[in-house]
Chain A
Amino acid sequence: MVDMPAQNPQRIVLPPHRERARRPRIVRLREWARRNLFNSRAGTALTIVTAIILGLLIYGVIYFVFVDANWRVITDNRWLLFAGGYPMDQEWRLWFSVGFVFLLIGLTYGTWASLGRRDHLFIVLASGFAILLLAHGGAAIWSTLWYLIAVGLLYAGYAITIRMPREAGPGRTLQQRSVAGLLIAALPIVLIVLLAFGGARPRELEGFVLNLVLAPVGIAGGLVIAIPLALGRASRMKAISWTCTTYIEVVRGAPLLGWLFVALFILDDVIGGELIVRAMVVLAVFTAAYMAEYIRGALQALPGGQSEAAHAVGLNQFQSMQLIVMPQALRISIPPMVGQAISIWKDTTLVTVILPLRELKGNADSAIAQFEFTPDRIEAYVFVAVVFWVVAFIMSRISQRVEGSLGIGER
């Protein structure tokens, strides 16, 4: 708090940037353009060339999207792309899961971050995109309604949590713990809803739904394996650190496709079970090796004084890890972990390549295998790319916001 001397309002001289802000908008715009677009002769040339390229690109995209493309390959096949072989009479299970996940997103944002104008805009745009896809055919109204309810849940969850006080205290702790608990429980809950009590058989998970199931399983499973793995590699006991290092290096040595090859041809003899379960195991095992390395990096980045202080207050090795070292290491490793999560999200497409599992890209292949849609291959793949991009973008957005509010990097 700086005490400002009382002054006559007219005589206040603002700092330069505030002074500039007082000028008319058009002047400011012109100044901005001169600084950022036309700052030199070369800069002007660069701007013009870039603008021409950009114009051509935009024209090309608009022409493709609105004139050239035949989007019926998507709209006619939207169930195939969305859920494929999932039993249609069990559709409510899918929508229940979507609503649940949307609610969780709302709760998470309300608890640790807040929705900005850009976020609202993004939700509206993404919803428009989704409804555009859903609003076709007989059940269009129902699908649209389901979707709108899900978005409503997102905002409801947000509205409830954003009003709660953010100051530290028992209430805040309880709120954080319950949302975190829900987040942890979300995956089992969704899997139960999708598969148990008369739901689909695992092999009936297809299309976009399969991606949406595989990625969280890979991420969660990977994290569960990665933590002991990272600790093991950092361990002083030779036998443990050596085997953990071997695991990490061998898994990282071969591409994911190679490991899916293992799931297909070799794991059958070892663990058996449905192929999709084997693929999940491989995905988790694969992710774990990468995550373990990020956690190890965070462990090394942590000042040694932390575990010393933990020992000095009498905590044993395990307590020190559980209460002091791991919470901080996990927090430091959030940014690369989110990168890994996005990477796994994209890599779920690979199950289509050598396994007979049909996720979104695989069912897009099925869609264009139909005779009437064979010319529309580009449309199908562009659609797949856009869908993956949207989800990856949401993931990185959420993590940025949550990172910001957790104060990562500010120690």
Chain B
Amino acid sequence: MTTETASMPARDLESAEDIIIAENVDKWFGDFQALDQISMRIKEHEIVVVLGPSGSGKSTFIRCLNRLEEHDSGRIVIDGIEMNDDVRNLNAIRSEVGMVFQQFNLFPHLSVMNNITLGPRKVRRMPKLDADALAMQLLERVGIPEQAEKYPAQLSGGQQQRVAIARALAMQPKIMLFDEPTSALDPEMIKEVLDVMQELARSGMTMIVVTHEMGFAREVADRLMFFDEGSLVEEGTPQHFFENPQEERTKLFLSQIL
């Protein structure tokens, strides 16, 4: 089920290990069932784009993957670590999984530099100089090294989101979760963020991306998943999705969004 676009280096997904395993995951908000028996496997280095109308449970699902939400039943295993009541596991998982939010959620009282180095210094106990060097390297990677000493409020939305990506990368995670990373951005800034994400995908990061950017999905994703009303309705390659979707709900959704 590998799809390789021309720009992608060959990533051997066939022999890769499953890094995320979800089995029969349920999540309730009071009487509302947000997730209904979600099961899936995601391999290391795989790029998965999650689609679905709002309220379909797609955000809830990826928030469950780093325990911002607790699932009510079923199992989630991240890189061999069980997501359960064990306090040690929780911390271990969070430093394996980076997350980028729709609203950036940068820390407004800290400079860009400190936003990025906070995690490495406080959680990984990295010395300040090393953390600063790492942060500069990441800022260069996302293309804004000159903004290091500014505060988030002084940056544009696109720049803020790129800082947020750098902040997540600073923890050197194995998996990156993106929760609608471009939805709060002005149109002219979307591309700069998507470019960074594309570069990240090429580098072999495992990524789960909730987005409405169909171009990104078509070009970068190895696999697409379609959520509706809390369940995983359909999954497959971009080719499968855009040329030959099977389920009625998927067709309807795609016809509305394309």
Task: Indicate yes or no for A touching B, C-beta below 8 A.
Answer: yes
* Interface contact B153-A315, CB-CB below 8 Å: no
User: A168, B171: Cβ atoms under 8 Å?
Assistant: no
**CB-defined contacts of B105 to chain A, threshold 8 Å:** 303, 305-306, 308-309, 312
Q: Judging by beta carbons under 8 Å apart, are A168 and B94 in contact?
A: no
Does A323 have its Cβ within 8 Å of any Cβ on chain B? yes
Counting CB contacts under 8 A, is B98 at the interface? Answer: yes
Contact status B99-A328, CB under 8 Å: no
Tell me if A331 and B123 are in contact (CB < 8 A): no
Instruction: Please determine whether A312 and B106 come into contact, CB atoms closer than 8 angstroms.
Output: no
Q: Are A314 and B123 in contact (CB under 8 A)?
A: yes
Across the interface, do B149 and A169 meet the contact criterion of CB distance under 8 Å?
yes
B residues in contact with A306, CB < 8 Å: 105, 107
Q: Is A118 an interface residue (CB 8 A)?
A: no
Query: Is A316 a contact of B91 with CB atoms below 8 Å?
Result: yes
Q: How far is the CB of A323 from chain B (nearest CB, A)?
A: 7
Question: Which chain B residues numbered 52 to 80 have a C-beta less than 8 Å away from chain A?
Answer: 66-68
A327 contacts the other chain (CB 8 A): yes
Query: When the two chains form their complex, are residues A315 and B119 in contact, meaning their CB atoms are under 8 A apart?
Result: yes
How far is A44 from B51 in the complex, measured between Cα atoms in Å? 67
| Binary flags per residue of B77-114, CB closer than 8 Å to A gives 1, else 0 | 00000000000000100110111010101111101000
| Smallest CB separation, B169 vs chain A (Å) | 10
User: CB-CB < 8 A to B111: which residues of A?
Assistant: 168
Q: Number of contacting residues on B, CB 8 A?
A: 29
Rounded to whole angstroms, the CA-CA distance of A310 and B99 in the bound complex is 10
Given A168-B111, A169-B149, A323-B118, A313 contacting B123 (CB threshold 8 A): yes
* Bound form: Cα–Cα A312–B178 in Å: 12
**Are the C-beta atoms of A312 and B168 separated by less than 8 Å?**
yes
Quick one: closest B residue to A305, CB to CB?
A: B105
Which residues on the B side are within 8 Å of A411 (C-beta)? 108, 153
Cα–Cα, bound, A324→B110 (Å) = 9
CA distance A407 to B108 in the complex (A): 11
Q: Which residues of B from 155 to 205 have beta carbons under 8 Å from A?
A: 164, 167-168, 170-171
* Residue from B67, B108, B118, B149 within 8 A of A313 (CB atoms): B118
Query: Which of B66, B111, B122 lies at the interface centre, i.e. has the most chain A CB atoms within 10 A of its CB?
Result: B122
A410–B168 CA distance with the chains assembled, in angstroms? 25
Contacts of B123 in A (CB 8 A): 313-315, 319
Q: Are B101 and A327 in contact (CB under 8 A)?
A: no
**Cβ–Cβ contact B99 & A312, under 8 A:** yes
Interface residues of A in 165-203 (CB under 8 A from B): 167-169
Judge whether A311 is part of the interface by a CB distance below 8 angstroms.
yes
Chain B window 34-47, contacts with chain A (Cβ cutoff 8 Å), 1 for yes, 0 for no? 00000000000000
Known: A168-B149, A308-B101, A411-B153. A314 touches B171 (CB 8 A): yes
State the CA gap A316–B99 with chains docked (Å): 15
B189–chain A nearest beta-carbon distance, Å:
19
A323 and B122 contact, CB distance less than 8 A: yes
Residue of A nearest to B103 (CB): A305
Q: Which residue of B lies closest to A330 (CB)?
A: B109
**A78 vs chain B, min Cβ distance (A):** 45
**Nearest A residue (CB) for B67:** A311
| Chain B residue nearest in CB terms to A328 | B109
Residues of B near A316 (CB, < 8 A) are 91
- Is B109 within 8 A of A311, CB to CB? no
Known contacts A303-B103, A306-B107, A323-B122; A312 and B98 CB within 8 A of each other: yes
Q: A168-B149, A323-B122, A328-B109 are in contact. Are A311 and B103 (CB under 8 A)?
A: no
Chain B contacts of A310 at CB under 8 A? 107
Please determine whether B68 and A331 come into contact, CB atoms closer than 8 angstroms.
no
Taking a contact as CB atoms under 8 Å apart, the answer to whether A314 and B91 are in contact is: yes
Contact of B119 among A303, A314, A407, A410 (CB under 8 A): A314
List which A369-411 residues lie within 8 A (CB) of chain B: 407, 410-411
With most chain B CB atoms within 10 A of its CB, the pick from A305, A308, A314 is A314
Partner of A319, one of B95, B99, B122: B122
Which residues of chain B have C-beta atoms less than 8 A from A328's C-beta?
107-109
With A305-B101, A305-B105, A323-B122 as given contacts, are A312 and B66 in contact (CB-CB < 8 Å)?
A: yes
Contact B94 A331 (CB under 8 A): no
Which residues of B, 198-233, contact A by the 8 Å Cβ criterion?
none
Contact check, A309 vs B122: say whether CB atoms are below 8 A apart.
no
Q: Is the CB of B94 within 8 A of A309?
A: no
Looking at A303, A309, A324, the one whose CB has the most chain B CB atoms below 10 A away is: A309
- Known contacts: A305-B105, A308-B68. The answer to whether A410 contacts B167 by CB under 8 A is no
Alpha-carbon distance A386/B95, docked complex (angstroms): 58
Which residues of A lie under 8 Å from residue B168 when comparing CB positions? 312-313
Expressed in whole angstroms, the minimum distance between the Cβ of B104 and any Cβ of chain A is: 8
Q: Closest approach, in angstroms, between the C-beta of A324 and any C-beta of chain B?
A: 6
Contact between A313 and B101, CB atoms less than 8 A apart: no
A389 to chain B, nearest CB (A): 34
Chain B residues contacting A407 (CB-CB under 8 Å) are: 153
Nearest chain A CB to B185 CB, angstrom units: 16
Which one of A306, A312, A316 has the highest number of Cβ atoms from chain B below 10 Å of its Cβ? A312
B21: shortest Cβ distance to chain A, in Å? 21
Residues of B within 8 A of A313 (CB): 94, 98, 118-119, 123, 167-168, 170-171
Q: What A residues does B109 contact at CB under 8 A?
A: 327-328, 331
* Docked-complex contact B107 and A309, CB < 8 angstroms: yes
**Across the interface, which residues of B come within 8 angstroms of A168, CB to CB?**
111, 149
Identity of the chain B residue whose Cβ is nearest the Cβ of A320 in the assembled complex: B122
CB-nearest residue of chain B to A411: B108
Nearest CB in chain B to that of A319: its residue: B122
**Sorted from nearest, which 9 A-B pairs have the closest CB atoms?**
A313-B119, A309-B105, A305-B105, A314-B123, A312-B99, A314-B95, A314-B94, A168-B149, A314-B119
Q: Provide a sorted-by-A list of 13 A–B residue pairs whose CB atoms are within 8 angstroms.
A: A168-B111, A305-B101, A308-B101, A309-B107, A309-B164, A312-B98, A313-B168, A314-B91, A314-B94, A315-B122, A316-B91, A319-B123, A411-B153
Q: With A312-B68, A407-B153 given, can you name 20 additional A-B contacts, CB distance below 8 Å?
A: A306-B107, A309-B99, A309-B101, A309-B106, A310-B107, A311-B66, A311-B67, A311-B68, A312-B94, A312-B101, A312-B105, A313-B167, A314-B119, A314-B122, A314-B171, A315-B118, A319-B122, A323-B122, A328-B108, A328-B109
